[in-house]
Amino acid sequence: SALLSGTAGYIDAVGFLTLMGMLPAHVTGEIVGLTTVFTAGHHLSHPGRLAVIPTFVAALVVAAVVARSHKRRGKSSTRALFALMAGSLAVCTVTGFFGALQGASSYGWAYALREGSIVAAMAFQNALRREALAAACPTTVMTGNLMQLVFDAVDVVASRFSREQNEDTLARVSRVPHLKLMIAAVGS
């Protein structure tokens, strides 16, 4: 969880800095942004933003097909989903070199490919967590993880000061391993 959360945070930073403020790990934000463009007359930063949601969905379809294919054969989909994610990140990295070249504006295709590959990588990471790492916490959306971390911390601290040991208190103490998982994810 910590490694994948750190990866998602890094990808969001790269996306924000190199893709005109896009946050690839948080497609929810892209949905909100597109909704405001269409309903409130806001300016769309670039037309490629319209492709974010279909690209994310298409990558999820690929991930689902790959995962189901592996399950039918009695195999784990972990390596295949990691490979899809790594391949997408490799494409993103390679296309990043085109922006550094003279006349970079003529490489619009590279920008579009970079944007699509980084969004696909996050789709593959989400699928990986769902299909192969179900016990892990979400690794791309930190808002929910931060909320869970705070609630778990309050429960653990409250259980330390509780004078009576009842079912509720014991349930709070049992959240310590989950709290450690949340700290690792949010900290990364």
- Res 169: pLDDT: 56
Q: How far apart are the first and last CA of the chain?
A: 9
Q: CA angle, corner 109, sides to 103 and 115, nearest 5?
A: 110
**Tens-place pLDDT, residues 135-184:** 777 777 766 667 677 777 877 777 777 666 666 655 656 667 777 877 88
pLDDT for the residue numbered 124: 93
What would the pLDDT profile of 44-78 be if each residue is shown by its tens digit?
Answer: 666 667 778 889 889 999 999 999 999 999 999 99
Dist CA 188 CA 183 (whole Å): 8
Q: Which amino acid is at 71?
A: K
Q: What distance in Å separates the CA atoms of residue 53 and residue 188, rounded to the nearest whole number?
A: 26
CA distance 116 to 24: 9
What gap in Å lies between CA 58 and CA 80, rounded to an integer? 16
Q: Rounded to the nearest 10 degrees, how much is the dihedral formed by the CA atoms of 65, 75, 87, 184?
A: 110
Look at residue 47 in the predicted model and tell me its pLDDT: 65
* HSE-CB for 105 with a 13 A CA cutoff: 0
Question: In Å, how far are 50, 180, 185 from 144, measured between CA atoms?
Answer: 26, 15, 11
Q: Which residue matches tokens 């190199």?
A: 18
Is the pLDDT higher at 21 or at 79? Answer: 79
What is the dihedral angle through the alpha carbons of 55, 58, 60, 65, rounded to the nearest 10 degrees? -160
Q: How many CB atoms lie within 10 A of CB 140?
A: 24
What tokens appear for 146 in the block?
Answer: 């931060």
